[in-house]
Structure 1
Amino acid sequence: MGKIVLAGGCFWGIEAYFNTIDGVVYTKVGYANGNTKNPTYGLVCKNNTGFAEACYIEYDDNIIKLEQLLSNYWKVIDPTVKDRQGHDIGTQYRTGIYYFDGKDVEVIKKSKENEQRKYKKIIVTEVEPLKNFYDAEEYHQKYLDKNPNGYCHIPKELLVK
């Protein structure tokens, strides 16, 4: 089983999107790579905790490889925009790829380099080891399943399995 944490704006859409991908076996949303303990949504929204809204993903690497997951990730973000995706603005909405295993770094960097060829602007998506991850509050988990008309910067047609 592989695991990765991806930040791509509001975590509701990222989680809903990755739940449509064959080989993804588990997701949860939370707060990644910040500088306080036990953050809450309210604290993270103040833009002073350093956390990114992110989605923890476990995937069966016999069904989908990290390269394919990342290829899907690039489709739903604008990696050249700092601290924003869609209508959401703030440091918690930055893009980031946070890894558990150093062996994934080469795959991630190659994927980012390949994606950069599509843009004139520099990709600002962070690539860092996962320092910490705190689960978001329960009402955020599978939010778009519970609230199908909720806001999402990802086109709705990509959220249908």
Structure 2
Amino acid sequence: MALEIATFGGGCFWCTEAVFQQIRGIKSVEPGYSGGQVDNPSYEQICEGSTGHAEVVRLIFDNAVVSYKALVEIFFAIHDPTTLNRQGGDVGTQYRSVIFCQTEQQMTCATTVMAELAAKSEKPLVTALEMAPVFYPAEDYHHNYFKMNSRQRYCTLVVAPKVAQVRQLFSTGQPA
């Protein structure tokens, strides 16, 4: 088994966690914070928007089952990479579109996928590509948030439609 790590920030981590939990080959999805200047930030600090961190998910995946390229394609399908520091009603640098690459190979792959997407997009992509900084796990109550709170208003209005979209588009766990 060829386990690898991928880290994506595409708005609220409750959404991205729930979506990536649907994908075959992903062994774990952990919400957290990355890319800022504050050590061990709290959710309250993140919400203030002054830490520089983005809400992200760190994936452990089996590259023999789902490729990094497929994960990048899914990431771009589930959020708007053309809006700076926001996803829907979630506004602030903590909700920015970012890929934190673990290796130079991931950086090359993500750059290629972004170039292909940019060629088809009417608006410029604002997704940042960076080598992965320190990852800080989110507080326990954020883990499996959608699974544990699926009837909560934000989950029914924002998270559930994204989960349904990824189930429809990527039912096999890989982009078509």
Same fold (TM over 0.5): yes
3-state DSSP class of the match of 1:45? Answer: helix
3-state DSSP class of the match of 2:108? Answer: helix
Query: Where does residue 113 of structure 1 map in the other structure?
Result: 115
Is contact 2:53–2:94 with CA below 8 Å preserved after alignment? yes
Identity %: 32
State how far apart, in whole Å, the 1-side matches of 2:151 and 2:81 are.
Answer: 25
Displacement of 1:159 in angstroms is: 6.0
Richer in helix (by share): 2
State how far apart, in whole Å, the 2-side matches of 1:159 and 1:109 are.
Answer: 22
Worse-matched range after superposition: 12-21 or 112-121 = 112-121
State how far apart, in whole Å, the 2-side matches of 1:102 and 1:36 are.
Answer: 25
Query: Where does residue 48 of structure 1 map in the other structure?
Result: 50
Displacement of 1:5 in angstroms is: 0.5
TM-score, length-scaled by structure 2: 0.87
Is contact 1:34–1:51 with CA below 8 Å preserved after alignment? yes
Displacement of 1:103 in angstroms is: 2.0
Displacement of 1:47 in angstroms is: 1.1
Unaligned runs of 5+ in 2: 172-176
2:32 corresponds, among 23, 30, 33, to 30
Worse-matched range after superposition: 149-158 or 126-135 = 149-158
Worse-matched range after superposition: 146-155 or 24-33 = 146-155
**What amino acid is aligned across from residue 78 of structure 1 in structure 2?**
D
Displacement of 1:2 in angstroms is: 1.5
Unaligned runs of 5+ in 1: none
Query: Where does residue 127 of structure 1 map in the other structure?
Result: 129
TM-score, length-scaled by structure 1: 0.95
Cα deviation digits, residues 27-54 of structure 1 (max 9, x gap): 1000011101110000011111100000
State how far apart, in whole Å, the 2-side matches of 1:34 and 1:8 are.
Answer: 15
2:63 corresponds, among 61, 64, 70, to 61
State how far apart, in whole Å, the 2-side matches of 1:69 and 1:159 are.
Answer: 12
RMSD value over aligned CA atoms?
1.4
TM alignment of 1:86-105, pairs within 5 A: 86-105=88-107
State how far apart, in whole Å, the 1-side matches of 2:74 and 2:105 are.
Answer: 20
Query: Where does residue 6 of structure 2 map in the other structure?
Result: 4
3-state DSSP class of the match of 2:48? Answer: coil
Displacement of 1:14 in angstroms is: 0.1
